[in-house]
Chain A
């Protein structure tokens, strides 16, 4: 009650009706006068009386200070006063202010930009509610591998720790919107997945159970025919339909008319696949029985009170009992295929938090950037602290006077801190502008390098974080110069001349700052060096074929518009048309684009395998059209390439890669060997061995691969799954034409066959390659920018400290020169001081880097974290920069004219 009342009075006191400062001052003045009067009455002289009164009761100013503390919120008033004071002081020193603000803006801006990525990508990875409850489920096929339909349905039935489990398949489709067909990314999802993700459409509704009922497809193995419905992503709604009302209207997807039932909210995506169209997913009777057909991805949502550990425990138990619960007995073929925890039939369900699955190694890259940029900020802070230190030195007399006048140490400290925080906030304001430009540039230059990078924005959250960082920097920079003021003796300060030399602690702090920033710059530079070398090594990897002047685009001929053989003929006709385009030397097609293809393997029986373990092998199938070997420039090391006779004959032929030949035939002649997919398809005869071509990425191992000829499908009537012609094909062509002039000709060529088929993903093979290493490139390039920034800031810091030292010792240098000291000697002495500091930093930095770079080891390719060449290069570069930064001020000192210097004194 009492405190509340006092609080109210204070509040009112701050705002209205308070006694004016003048009033208070008068009261204190009258107090002193009364005291003096009494003293005089006792017979003291007026001077003595005044002195005595002040000693007894203190000065008016101090009384006022104490008085104000009680009235209202003095700290608020003081703060306003201090800020005004700081702004005025900073305005009086525009050069200092500009340098400090720009330095801080660079440091804070870089941090803000990277933090916006940390925040947008790592801290808020999904647009779903409670994303931490979402788990990604897969089987273990070396890498995460899809789940089969029966496995999914059983798991849904068994799992008790999950509130729900849903399934999906990602894919692509042709969308006809208006007159221009386009390629879109699709996600086929069941009703249960929509519940698991807990998203709500911004318009319309989601899929219900009834929407996922399917009819069996006309062709075995082809995808089931679902109810013709679709949901559209916010992005596609805006870009293809201009945001006009869409629910209830129909869209043309892969030649089928689908009714749009809803529009997804902005940012809702699946597995960072940039899903455009959501389709209903249902299962045919055959699919529900196909235990061995792994083609589903699963996401489950844990119940609210279930921990990840508890879910893992349940999963382990389920795997143990799966066989018993389903009543499936072990046996050959599909029937016995069931989850088992161990043994040769080991087959388990894996659970990973969805965020880990989607972000994967990207999160480490982002943290590395954040760490690097934090070091840059430290360097920026060190520089500003340095500047403030120098400024404090020049203001020592002012400070001493203020102290003598009764300013408390706390008050001076606050002044200094408010000044530096003001600087930092100005720096952060400018930094946010820089960060915005930086993030814009980053999303433009590396649009797909990081998950969800399109969602990254400098929002209020990020700005608040930036402001917090700025205040922290301000405190650090502001307090650093004050480290040594504790020992200041006021009288000492007053006596010293305006050109007094720096106190030893001041010089020591400054020297330490030079060492620290050099050390930090070394760490960032070594990190950047290692990543640059990684990118260099990745670029140098032999992809297995000649990718110069090679252009590729993607064709998709959906089953709704083409039957199985009709599609093969359509591909052949389109390729004929493409070969007819002037400037195109040759053209062919393949199902998997090298460096950008998922490693999908099919079990294949090998007739005379000498591999001790296996008669069947998981092989990567590359299905190609005629002229493939010639177009892509695939070196055939043994046997021969496909020829026209093969294309027209029905006797299945195949080319295998060297890895396959080495692993399964081990030195026997592969040509003439036979193999067949799944153990039931017609036999294929090997006619040649080709050099290994990288499949998933240049840093990935090459899997055993087999090339088969799609053209042969048109000549016989096989029944295996392999006999279904692919719905999508990557066309490759060798040409000297630039993309710009190719596009119209290619569009015309395709349009002649089918107007609904878009020309998609037209790009040079080199671009496919650079895209495949986009993340290391992003990391290397951004880190290099930061390393450059760190280097420049450290150099400026070193230069600044030495320049200050030279300015301070002008007189000394002048005298020494006048007394006959050689200019070289002066030069060397100053340089030695600077180089000692920088050298300490270099050595400590290299030592620290050896420890720190182990954290990036996972991001490196064929480079050791302690790569000597990189260490030496960085060391040399930084040493050179340090020498230059030291030489300049030292050279200036050695050029001093002793006469001029001494005359000024």
Chain B
């Protein structure tokens, strides 16, 4: 049940939301597998999301009105549910990104300062 394994990274809840939003911004409307595969690829395999982590996150974002899900067909002609950013989702992404940058800057300054 656990998605913990050596070499893999735990995902903080807020971070995962940001990752998903950013992925959908970059790739356009995509299904869950594509999002997972993309995150795995970008992280060089460090981030493996199992379904029990990914889909609740997608649902959460959809419930907050940041995503819109719709059934569609993949290029290999398989049925899949595609998620797209809503207008609110885009606004949220901009806000979260700014917040992340600020936080990252603070963390960096802090970590440098102490070492």
Contact = CB atoms under 8 A, between A and B. Distances in A.
B115 to A, nearest CB: 36
B53 interface: yes
A423 B29 CA distance: 51
Contacts of B3: 58
A31 B32 contact: yes
B31 A30 contact: yes
A556 B80 CA distance: 97
Nearest to A3: B64
Interface string A18-53: 000000101110111111011000000000000000
A878 to B, nearest CB: 49
Contacts of A71: 59
Nearest to A28: B51
B42 to A, nearest CB: 16
Interface residues of A, number: 32
A461 B64 CA distance: 42
Contact of B74 (A6, A24, A28, A34): A34
Contact of A33 (B49, B65, B78): B78
A592 to B, nearest CB: 81
A57 B51 contact: yes
Interface in B56-91: 56, 59-60, 63-65, 74, 76, 78-81
Among B50, B53, B60, B64, which residue has the most Cβ atoms of chain A within 10 A?
B50
Nearest to A70: B56
Contacts of A67: 52, 55-56, 59
A35 B3 CA distance: 17
A56 B33 contact: no
Given A9-B63, A35-B33, A65 B52 contact: yes
Nearest to B63: A9
In this complex, the interface size class of chain B, counting residues with CB under 8 Å from chain A, is 20 to 34
B1 A406 contact: yes
Contacts of A57: 36, 49-51, 54
B78 A34 contact: yes
A59 to B, nearest CB: 8
Contact of A37 (B32, B59, B65, B78): B78
Given A31-B32, A38-B37, A63 B64 contact: no
A33 B79 CA distance: 10
Contact of A31 (B1, B33, B53): B33
A34 B50 contact: no
SS of A interface (majority): helix
Contacts of A408: 1
A57 B53 CA distance: 9
A13 B49 CA distance: 25
A31 B59 CA distance: 15
A10 B63 contact: yes
Contacts of A903: none
Nearest to A62: B52
Contacts of A5: 64-65
A542 interface: no
Contacts of B22: none
B60 A70 contact: yes
A592 B41 CA distance: 102
B51 A58 contact: yes
A63 B55 contact: yes
Among A27, A28, A33, which residue has the most Cβ atoms of chain B within 10 A?
A27
Interface in B15-60: 31-34, 36-37, 48-56, 59-60
Contact of A56 (B1, B31, B50): B50
A9 B52 contact: no
Nearest to B55: A67
Contacts of B51: 28, 31-32, 57-58, 60, 62-63, 66
A58 B52 contact: yes
B64 A2 contact: yes
Contacts of A6: 60, 63-64
B59 A70 contact: yes
A66 B64 CA distance: 18
Interface string B91-109: 0000000000000000000
B66 to A, nearest CB: 10
B110 to A, nearest CB: 28
A24 B1 CA distance: 19
Given A58-B1, A70-B60, A406-B1, 9 more contacts: A10-B63, A13-B63, A24-B55, A34-B34, A58-B50, A62-B1, A66-B51, A66-B56, A70-B63
Closest 8 CB pairs of A and B: A66-B52, A63-B51, A58-B50, A34-B33, A70-B56, A9-B63, A31-B33, A30-B80
22 contacts: A10-B63, A27-B80, A27-B81, A28-B55, A30-B78, A30-B80, A31-B31, A31-B55, A34-B74, A34-B78, A37-B76, A57-B36, A58-B1, A58-B3, A62-B1, A63-B51, A66-B55, A66-B56, A67-B52, A67-B55, A67-B56, A67-B59
